[in-house]
Amino acid sequence: MAERMKSSDSSVWDERPVLVTGATGLLGGWLVEALVARGARVVCLVRDRVPHSRYRTEGVRGRVQEVRGEITDQPLLERVLGEYEVRTVFHLAAQTLVPVADRNPVATFETNVRGTWTVLEACRRSPIVSETVVASSDKAYGSQSVLPYTETTPLHGSAPYEVSKSCADLIAQSYAQAYGLHVCVTRCGNFFGGGDLNWSRLVPGTMRDLLAGRAPTIRSDGSLVRDYLYVEDGVSAYLRLAEAMMHQRDLAGRAFNFSLEEPLTVLQMMSHMTQAVGVDIKPIVLGGAAQEIPSQFLDSSAARSDLGWRPALGVTIGLRRTAAWYRDHLRSL
């Protein structure tokens, strides 16, 4: 694991105090694992116990400091940053499910918007936090007539989840401009990889069905175009950005798109998954999801030119590793 997830300068993480919010999520679990492998002293803010998350099942939990609490608890965050002498903050905690956001917009805004300003205000008050990375999303751009999204594309979310990410993104940029906080924003497409147990999502649900010999279901007509980013490529992006921020203070306030730059329709992604699993099962296409944005994908040229980041694994290798993880996980249940 440590070899294939190595970043450009792993030595900078040795004994570095790092706070990760959202550690029980897909990206969070992999990021914590990578930081531990590099020798960082990792502190994780955890709200709920998620027994099957990668954070708890891949042997990293006993090697980090765990603090239980809410992302909106500013006194708690200030205590954590002070007591653990945190230098680097990765703010990943969020309510990430679009259907949940549609049903419970206020709770989503509380977590994604208030949670972000709470983290940033705690970082602003800390005399030792050096860099903060805030996770936004390609959904922050909303629906656009010109694609791919670049970092200069206006943030134009309209649905509750999109708006929550647009707001969090803008708040981070505001803290950089108004207070000089050394914060950057990441905008990524749809993460996939082993450890994602939200079965309503495309990749986990499809993997479970294919491995069980069932036909997976597509809620839309299959033509929706999206960016997909394998989680280990995502981890390398977050690490590379934070490392660059340690040496380039002029990055403050910038947002970076991270993408494979290989947009796929849902049906194309489904085809890749059947190949990764090694089966020939046709999906059931329901033809719904009429309210979803037809096409979303990112331009990552700034990440390539300014950070030197490129994905190392991509969809094909990423899905093979993902299929292997789900095969092992489902056998163990």
DSSP string, 235-291: HHHHHHHHHHHHH-GGGTT-EEEE--S--EEHHHHHHHHHHHHT---PPEE----TT
- Of 5-19, 63-77, 111-125, 201-215, least confident by mean pLDDT is 5-19
The mean per-residue pLDDT over the stretch 103-111 comes to 95
Query: Could you tell me if 165 and 136 are in contact, meaning their C-beta atoms sit under 8 angstroms apart?
Result: yes
Is residue 223 domain-resident?
A: no
pLDDT of 6 > 50? The answer is no
Percent of the chain at pLDDT above 70?
Answer: 93
Q: In Å, how far are 75, 149, 265 from 142, measured between CA atoms?
A: 33, 10, 18
Residues that are catalytic: 161
- Of 130-134, 196-200, 300-304, 319-323, least confident by mean pLDDT is 196-200
pLDDT of 105 > 70? The answer is yes
Three-state secondary-structure class, residue 217: strand
Tokens 């909303």 identify what position?
Answer: 142
My answer on whether omega of the bond before 148 falls inside 30° of 0, hence cis, is: yes
Domain that holds residue 109: 10-193+228-261+296-311
* Band of pLDDT at residue 1, cut at 50, 70 and 90: very low
Question: For residue range 186-245, what is the model confidence (pLDDT) as tens digits?
Answer: 999 999 999 998 898 999 999 999 999 999 999 889 999 999 999 999 999 999 999 999
Whole-number average pLDDT of the chain? 92
* Band of pLDDT at residue 293, cut at 50, 70 and 90: confident
Percent of the chain at pLDDT above 90?
Answer: 82
The pLDDT of residue 52 is: 61
Q: In Å, how far are 2, 48, 76, 187, 305 from 122, measured between CA atoms?
A: 31, 21, 9, 22, 32
The pTM assigned to this predicted structure is: 0.93
The pLDDT of residue 59 is: 65
The mean per-residue pLDDT over the stretch 26-47 comes to 94
The pLDDT of residue 61 is: 66
Q: Among 87, 180, 172, which residue's Cα sits nearest to residue 136?
A: 172
The pLDDT of residue 287 is: 86
Domain count, the chain: 1
Is residue 287 domain-resident?
A: no
The CATH number covering residue 236 comes to: 3.40.50.720
The mean per-residue pLDDT over the stretch 249-277 comes to 96
* Band of pLDDT at residue 10, cut at 50, 70 and 90: confident
Is residue 181 domain-resident?
A: yes
Is residue 158 domain-resident?
A: yes
The pLDDT of residue 55 is: 63
Is residue 34 domain-resident?
A: yes
The pLDDT of residue 7 is: 46
Helix, strand, coil percent content, the chain, rounded in steps of 5? 45, 15, 40
Question: For residue range 148-176, what is the model confidence (pLDDT) as tens digits?
Answer: 999 999 999 899 999 999 999 999 999 99
- Cβ neighbours for 229, distance < 8 A, ≥ 6 positions apart: 188, 189, 190, 191, 192, 237, 258, 259, 260, 311
The mean per-residue pLDDT over the stretch 255-261 comes to 96
Evaluated on CA atoms 319, 99, 134, 24, the torsion sign reads negative
Is residue 327 domain-resident?
A: no
Is residue 253 domain-resident?
A: yes
Cα 133 to chain centroid distance, Å, stands at 11
The mean per-residue pLDDT over the stretch 301-306 comes to 96
Is residue 42 domain-resident?
A: yes
Q: Phi and psi dihedrals of 91, rounded to 5?
A: -100, 100
Question: For residue range 129-141, what is the model confidence (pLDDT) as tens digits?
Answer: 999 999 999 999 9
